[in-house]
Amino acid sequence: INDEKIYRIDPANNFQVVNTFPAPGAGSKNPWGVASNGRVLYIADGIQNLIFITDDFLSVEYIIGTPGPLAAGLGYRFNQLWNSDLGDFTNGVPQRMYVSDTVGTLLNQYTTNITNNGVTAHDSAVIVARNKNNGQVVIGYDPATYQQIYSFPSPLEYPNGLAFDGTYLWMSGNHLGGRYIVKISLGLSPPAPAPRLQLTADSLNFGTVPPDSAASLMLGLSNIGDTTLVIDSLFTGSAVFSVSPGGNLALPPGAGIELSLTFTPPAEGLFRDTLSIISNAAGQDTAQVLLIGEGELPVGLNGNVAMPEDFALLPNYPNPFNPSTTITYRLGRTAEVELVIFNPLGQQIRILQQQRQPAGIYRIVWDGRDDSGTVQASGVYYYRLKAGVDFTNIRKMIFLK
């Protein structure tokens, strides 16, 4: 649990290990679910209750929370993550299959009341595997309704992982005391001709930009299908992020286009949004890209910045963080200020600021230590700002060692 690894193996070369990487995250780990969209890996950890989105070398691009209390198998299908969850019997949470987008928005959930050990997905089915205690069976479900469409016996007593390569189902697990990887033909017909959307990134980070200034990044979009891809619209949730062009695009097979995304922060703080792409892509009528940027006031030559007009506690950055993060707050007038850190149990562990301060913008770095200098464990922490008699705000942050 403290030394979990991700192995990349080559099935065409007698399953030789190509690379080995430490599982992402900090402390105890249990990376039960792994899925891929062909560009990034999605790794669900049942102990940390996080899904890590990484590149080919397991460098973390961003992190989202798992929908349920104990994540297990994970499958990817058309910008959706299908995550089987073992539930929490102590608190009455049953086993479920959760469906979310790749930025963590819950789209649907299905109560299963039974453990699914492995999950994978393709155009026409979401496939799960169950061990001998739950029938030793492989089941295919309709992604639109989660109704069973086929099943067959699992060749392994304890299947743990599933993957689908477009032709074959691959299963890893234990059988009669040994460990195996099994290749299974599903007898599927080739998919019908259809447009298919491919993006060059699932997320864009614009970095730090002064308020009321702008920064732009490009996003590649292409049609890797067999018929014309029609983009009806592209939009974001707020004017902080904008996209050009905005839609009404037609891309023949093999064609592509670059979209220009612009971040214009109206004020200081961390901003997050989602670019939505509405199209006729097969099984993926809505694709989404996570957008992140930070507005930060520039400091003049004399070290001064414009004075704020109100009190505010801004999101810490980075978040999640290791080994340190910066907390920013604004004071609209002189006030007694208290900024403290709480652990997951609600216990105060660190006083970062406790004094009277004039109006201004302040930044304080927390290094993950308590008042005695002890480095804290990985997990969720809270920071609270009290300013004067009428302002209090609390925010959450994640410390990963």
Mean pLDDT value of segment 32-43: 88
Residue 28 has pLDDT above 80, yes or no: no
Residue pair 86/49 in contact by the 8 Å Cβ criterion: no
pTM of model > 0.95: no
258 Cβ neighbours under 8 A, 6+ residues apart: 218, 219, 220, 221
Question: Of 142 and 213, which is predicted with more confidence?
Answer: 142
Of the pLDDT bands very low, low, confident and very high (cuts 50, 70, 90), residue 251 is very high
Of the pLDDT bands very low, low, confident and very high (cuts 50, 70, 90), residue 55 is confident
* Strand, coil or helix: 289: strand
Beta bridge partners of 148: 141
Provide the pairing of β-strand 241-244 with 80-85.
Answer: unpaired
Quote the tokens at residue 56.
Answer: 């080919």
* Strand, coil or helix: 331: strand
Quote the tokens at residue 185.
Answer: 């033909």
Residue pair 326/345 in contact by the 8 Å Cβ criterion: no
The count of other CB atoms within 10 Å of the CB of residue 130 is 22
Q: CATH top-level class for 312-399?
A: mainly beta
220 Cβ neighbours under 8 A, 6+ residues apart: 199, 200, 201, 256, 257, 258, 259
Residue pair 271/294 in contact by the 8 Å Cβ criterion: yes
Residue 299 has pLDDT above 60, yes or no: no
| pLDDT value at residue 303 | 45
What residue ranges do the domains of the chain occupy? 5-185, 197-295, 312-399
The yes-or-no answer to whether 5-185 and 312-399 have a common fold is: no
Residue 393 has pLDDT above 60, yes or no: yes
Of the pLDDT bands very low, low, confident and very high (cuts 50, 70, 90), residue 302 is very low
5-185: which CATH number, 2.102.10.10, 2.120.10.30, 3.40.190.10, 3.30.300.30? 2.120.10.30
Lowest mean pLDDT among 206-210, 253-257, 355-359: 206-210
Of the pLDDT bands very low, low, confident and very high (cuts 50, 70, 90), residue 242 is very high
Of the pLDDT bands very low, low, confident and very high (cuts 50, 70, 90), residue 307 is low
326 Cβ neighbours under 8 A, 6+ residues apart: 316, 317, 363, 364, 365, 366
Residue 305 has pLDDT above 60, yes or no: no
Distance between CA 101 and CA 289 in Å, rounded? 10
197-295: which CATH number, 3.40.50.300, 3.40.190.10, 3.40.50.2300, 2.60.40.10? 2.60.40.10
12 Cβ neighbours under 8 A, 6+ residues apart: none
Distance between CA 279 and CA 247 in Å, rounded? 9
* Strand, coil or helix: 5: strand
Residue 90 has pLDDT above 80, yes or no: no
- What digits encode the pLDDT tens for the residues 159-194? 988 999 888 899 999 999 898 889 998 876 666 788
Mean pLDDT value of segment 372-383: 89
